[in-house]
């Protein structure tokens, strides 16, 4: 499958790159934290017979320019809406932090062309239900240049990888060292360690939106809320709180899915998305 690339300019002049494949109505995939557009190529291919799929790289990643100082939700929304207007896309799928950005974009730009969105495990927090207690140690490790330790702190704190949270920090760090060596042997272009600093802005966005759900009541387009049965409970709590605020109550728990399944179990997810967008 061939992917082409294009560039759009956001409101502040930042260049945002995106990958494109397929044919049909436009569908934007807004990627999660610590991820780039290539992580979603399999999902894009699974959707490409029904949609023209666009996968933007968010700032600081892949084809796009650096985040720069002051990157926040407002900037993230401006970047996504620039892609929406450039492509005339009708649909959005947002994963994790990308799902939160998609929700905020639709709540802010009610006049845009988007007809439906689906979100998978956005980091919705109510009364600090999302775990933030690890974040200060994570930032300190990054400032000290200890990226592997910082990554270990985030994995233990977020509990998104099964079994990781019960391991001591030194063991997680050793696992990351091994994984890093394997990735180098596979000549991976951009590794999670390289993208780790971009996690700071994503977590701060989630923190700043803690318990601020009222404005989602203004969203009138259909939204498909999705989570995995094997994911941490805080994602399910956030999804329920979001569902309670929206006019529609659609929630789908994907059996045997975890937080990273949108990159792996693409056939089942693609089928779910096709049914939702075309219904």
pLDDT digits (tens, 9 = 90+) for 214-232: 999 889 899 999 999 999 9
Regarding predicted confidence, which is higher, 191 or 10?
Answer: 10
- What tokens appear for 117 in the block? 């969105």
Strand partners, 19: 5, 55
- Read off the pLDDT band of 185 (50, 70, 90): very low
Residue 25 CA to residue 88 CA, distance in Å, equals: 9
The rounded radius of gyration (Å) of the Cα atoms in the chain is 18
User: What pLDDT shows up at residue 186?
Assistant: 47
User: What pLDDT shows up at residue 188?
Assistant: 41
Residue 61 CA to residue 65 CA, distance in Å, equals: 7
Residue 9 CA to residue 78 CA, distance in Å, equals: 10
CATH code of the domain made up of 4-128+210-278? 3.40.50.1820
Q: For residues 133-162, give the mean pLDDT.
A: 94
For residue 184, pLDDT beyond 70? no
How open is the CA angle 242-218-202, to the nearest 5 degrees?
50
- What tokens appear for 40 in the block? 């979603």
**Quick one: which of 265, 154, 145, 135 has its CA closest to 204?**
135
Q: How many CB atoms lie within 10 A of CB 185?
A: 7
- Read off the pLDDT band of 166 (50, 70, 90): confident
Highest averaged pLDDT of the listed ranges 179-183, 233-237, 242-246: 233-237
User: What pLDDT shows up at residue 181?
Assistant: 57
DSSP letter (8 states) at residue 94 = E
- What tokens appear for 49 in the block? 């017979």
**Domain span(s) for CATH 3.40.50.1820 in the chain:** 4-128+210-278
Half-sphere exposure of 79 (CA within 13 A, CB side): 29
In tens, the pLDDT along 79-91 reads 999 999 999 999 9
CB 61 within 8 A of CB 195: yes
For residue 194, pLDDT beyond 70? yes
For residue 92, pLDDT beyond 90? yes
In tens, the pLDDT along 2-49 reads 899 999 999 999 999 999 999 999 999 999 999 999 999 999 999 999
- Read off the pLDDT band of 180 (50, 70, 90): low
For residue 183, pLDDT beyond 60? no
Q: What are phi and psi of 161, to 5 degrees?
A: -110, 120
Average pLDDT, the chain: 92
**Quick one: which of 2, 12, 6, 32 has its CA closest to 192?**
32
């Amino acid at each position: 499958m061939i992917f082409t690339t294009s560039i759009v300019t956001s409101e502040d002049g930042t260049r945002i790159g995106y990958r494109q494949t397929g044919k049909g109505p436009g569908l934007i995939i807004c990627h999660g934290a610590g991820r780039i557009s290539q992580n979603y190529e399999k999902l894009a291919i699974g959707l490409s017979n029904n949609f023209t799929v666009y996968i933007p790289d968010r700032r600081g990643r892949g084809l796009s320019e650096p985040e720069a100082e002051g990157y926040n939700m407002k900037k993230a929304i401006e970047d996504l809406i620039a892609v929406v207007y450039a492509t005339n896309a009708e649909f959005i799928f947002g994963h994790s932090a990308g799902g939160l950005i998609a929700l905020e974009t639709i709540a802010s730009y009610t006049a845009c062309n988007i007809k439906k969105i689906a979100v998978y495990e956005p980091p919705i927090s109510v009364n600090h239900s999302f775990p933030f207690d690890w974040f200060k140690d994570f930032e300190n490790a990054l400032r000290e240049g200890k990226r592997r330790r910082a990554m270990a702190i985030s994995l233990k704190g977020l509990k998104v990888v099964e079994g990781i949270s019960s391991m001591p920090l030194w063991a997680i760090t050793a696992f990351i060292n091994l994984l890093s060596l394997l990735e180098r042997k596979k000549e991976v272009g951009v590794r999670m360690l390289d993208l780790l600093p971009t996690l700071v802005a994503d977590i701060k966005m989630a923190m700043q939106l803690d318990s601020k759900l009222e404005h989602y009541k203004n969203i009138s387009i259909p939204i498909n809320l999705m989570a995995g049965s094997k994911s941490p409970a805080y994602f399910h709590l956030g999804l329920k709180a979001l569902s309670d605020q929206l006019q529609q109550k659609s929630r789908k728990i994907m059996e045997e899915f975890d937080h990273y399944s949108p990159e792996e179990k693409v056939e089942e997810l693609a089928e779910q998305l096709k049914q939702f967008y075309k219904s």
